[in-house]
Structure 1
């Protein structure tokens, strides 16, 4: 087997980053683990310790967040809904196709599968994120401490090779596909075994609801930082990132809150975010698309770091006009029921500031929308949970041994 770059091994058209061709062969002989097994919890705890003590990892907030997610205290909270379900075993091998635009998603997907009792084959993001390199190194280091778990982890890279998708799809009992509609369509050309199941995560959009009075009473720097984490940290590429900002309150208060909020965010951005020319062009094109489908007015801002567009109505085609890089569509609502046109089947996360979460839940349930799978506070939209997009990952990636 020949060396390929500094972080993997190559054979055929697959680069093995964590694990080897021999690991791949061993996976077919593995027995599934129970959900929340001692093996999985011990491994995640050791990985958390590695991440949180690693000098290189500390430079990346998303990697550090993963470290906190893996801690024993966090695992205990995650396990609570499954207490008493000792009759659940993993389904076998999970094949994960990671998204190209979110660095650490592959790790959450793989570790959720491990907590559900499965081994994982992970196709890593095509983009060369430093976070991916760091996490692969740390996982490899922890696996040296737990050699019996080596066959449960195979991280690979390969190009647009349908034959490799077919190979890994034939091995798996669960296929988890992130990255949007086009990726799902491409991967689905590879057939699954008759009893295998697929968990697809398609293109989604998200929105935030902000109470104007609460915003005006808030620490402006803190609320700007929370919104930055939700949006600019992923360049609005994550499905969780809000593209639509809905304001609640009297007109004068909304106007004052908008000025304060966007001004504080601009101060936060000036030294932290650089807009590339291609992004500016994409935002201009989105503005034209938006103007073609509804009455829209661009709000004045000091530069192009933030693009705000006011709309007076919310047509259901509005999500087709979204784009990243700091492009926000604003709407002033008199009542929460007005957001229903945004809550289509493609709507994932509803974040909020200053609005009681029970009020939001009641409003969403009364609308009975096709979408909205998560209601979370502003600043926490990217916090990964074992229930994602309305799917309980542990239950979906495990099976019940029923006793009658």
Structure 2
């Protein structure tokens, strides 16, 4: 075995590849994995620095034992015999810092060893989690699980992806379409396969009646939830809504005013808009105005930029922009959205709709896209079912004994 040396080993401090690739798979949700992740959660939550980063805190809460046991009950079947597939090679995206952690956790819970390429960009959230992984391994209490983890960083010029691809049982690619095509140029073993999370587009739908009937406290919570879905990752996450659909009624304008005022007030206090993004938003508006019938809505500043669509183009996703740029369109029914929903659509965040109505919307229109329909505030919340994949099933194999 001739491993590439063109990478930086972040965790552990040294590695013997011959031993690492010989590790055997485990059952899903093994007790020692749950204990390890719970310990990681505990040490992160005790770190005051972690409080600066809401995404790190959310990740730590996801790793708590109580949550993992709940997931175990949901994602395992006592009548099935499953084992991990062996070695997973994860390529984390560059737009969501903590995503590498969730991908790793899914791999561990499924019973696998894991090589994770973290983003070549420097993120303090990544460094913080890695610091606490080192703290755990130095305690010598979780060696059996800790040795299943390798974290590396390298840039596009490295040949490391070729080596890691050549030894993996599953390759997990998070990134845009171009990233996936580039990584796929590296061969994987005959029985291995890719699980790809490609470039996606997300939307939201709001019922004005729910906005106007909500208390001031509820509206403030909704504004915070919307902020977390969008601005927390600069609207770069695939799950961040870009187009907002409003149900049409005689209270629509009042509802819009109440909602956007709350969003702007919360965002103006929390978010630092870079000058270059203000320019990008203006450029995005001019580009959209050339191609689509739109009107720019009046807002106090560039923190929130809104465009009202006079028509709904089938390629609305081509006019996205980051850091708080939203297109809005008025509909009489959710069914009016269906014609534009392609396989590229990932999440629908909603407010003021009944679950049964959303189920009927999906079934009646036999949607090819939209893998997640969740309340506003939950679009970025990680789940072991993502982009239509049950990750535990994808990362394990089922054994038949007759």
* TM-score interval for Structure 1 and Structure 2 normalised by the shorter chain: over 0.9
Deviation at 1:324, TM superposition (A): 0.9
CA distance in 2, matches of 1:23, 1:327: 48
In structure 2, the residue matched to 1:228 is 227
In structure 2, the residue matched to 1:34 is 27
CA distance in 1, matches of 2:179, 2:348: 24
Deviation at 1:181, TM superposition (A): 0.8
- On the 8 A contact 1:290/1:318 being kept in 2, the answer is no
Q: For the structure 1 residues 85 and 171, does the alpha-carbon distance in structure 2 shift closer, same or farther, using more than 3 Å as the test?
A: farther
Q: Does 1:208 align with 2:208?
A: no
- On the 8 A contact 1:243/1:327 being kept in 2, the answer is yes
**For 1:296-311, what aligned pairs fall within 5 Å after superposition?**
296-311=294-309
In structure 2, the residue matched to 1:98 is 92
TM-score by length of 1: 0.94
Q: Does 1:13 align with 2:6?
A: yes
Q: For the structure 1 residues 277 and 59, does the alpha-carbon distance in structure 2 shift closer, same or farther, using more than 3 Å as the test?
A: closer
Deviation at 1:20, TM superposition (A): 4.4
- On the 8 A contact 1:101/1:127 being kept in 2, the answer is no
- On the 8 A contact 1:293/1:318 being kept in 2, the answer is no
SS in 2 for 1:33: coil
CA deviations on 1:198-245 (whole Å, 9 max, x unpaired) are 001000011111110111222321111110010001110111100011
Deviation at 1:114, TM superposition (A): 0.6
SS in 1 for 2:159: helix
Q: Does 1:165 align with 2:158?
A: no
Deviation at 1:149, TM superposition (A): 2.4
SS in 2 for 1:84: coil
Q: For the structure 1 residues 26 and 86, does the alpha-carbon distance in structure 2 shift closer, same or farther, using more than 3 Å as the test?
A: farther
Q: Does 1:193 align with 2:189?
A: yes
Any gaps of 5 or more consecutive residues in structure 2?
Answer: none
Q: Does 1:241 align with 2:237?
A: no
Deviation at 1:59, TM superposition (A): 1.9
Deviation at 1:161, TM superposition (A): 3.2
SS in 1 for 2:295: strand
SS in 2 for 1:77: helix
CA distance in 2, matches of 1:279, 1:376: 28
Deviates more, 1:103-112 or 1:55-64: 55-64
CA distance in 2, matches of 1:323, 1:364: 27
Deviation at 1:172, TM superposition (A): 0.5
SS in 2 for 1:271: helix
CA distance in 2, matches of 1:203, 1:24: 32
2:148 equivalent among 152, 163, 166 = 152
In structure 2, the residue matched to 1:364 is 362
Deviation at 1:162, TM superposition (A): 5.0
SS in 2 for 1:135: helix
1:180 equivalent among 176, 182, 185 = 176
**For 1:266-345, what aligned pairs fall within 5 Å after superposition?**
266-345=264-343
In structure 2, the residue matched to 1:48 is 41
CA deviations on 1:353-374 (whole Å, 9 max, x unpaired) are 1111221121122111210000
Q: Give the RMSD, CA atoms, in angstroms.
A: 1.4
Deviation at 1:14, TM superposition (A): 1.2
CA distance in 2, matches of 1:150, 1:71: 17
Q: Does 1:347 align with 2:355?
A: no
CA distance in 1, matches of 2:237, 2:16: 32
Q: For the structure 1 residues 368 and 162, does the alpha-carbon distance in structure 2 shift closer, same or farther, using more than 3 Å as the test?
A: farther
CA distance in 1, matches of 2:208, 2:308: 16
- On the 8 A contact 1:23/1:151 being kept in 2, the answer is no
In structure 2, the residue matched to 1:3 is none
Q: For the structure 1 residues 265 and 167, does the alpha-carbon distance in structure 2 shift closer, same or farther, using more than 3 Å as the test?
A: same
- On the 8 A contact 1:220/1:261 being kept in 2, the answer is yes
Any gaps of 5 or more consecutive residues in structure 1?
Answer: 1-10
CA deviations on 1:72-103 (whole Å, 9 max, x unpaired) are 21112211231315511001110011011101
CA distance in 2, matches of 1:114, 1:86: 19
SS in 1 for 2:346: strand
In structure 1, the residue matched to 2:51 is 58
Deviates more, 1:47-56 or 1:370-379: 47-56
Q: For the structure 1 residues 349 and 165, does the alpha-carbon distance in structure 2 shift closer, same or farther, using more than 3 Å as the test?
A: same
Deviation at 1:23, TM superposition (A): 4.2
SS in 1 for 2:115: strand
- On the 8 A contact 1:96/1:123 being kept in 2, the answer is yes
Q: Does 1:71 align with 2:64?
A: yes
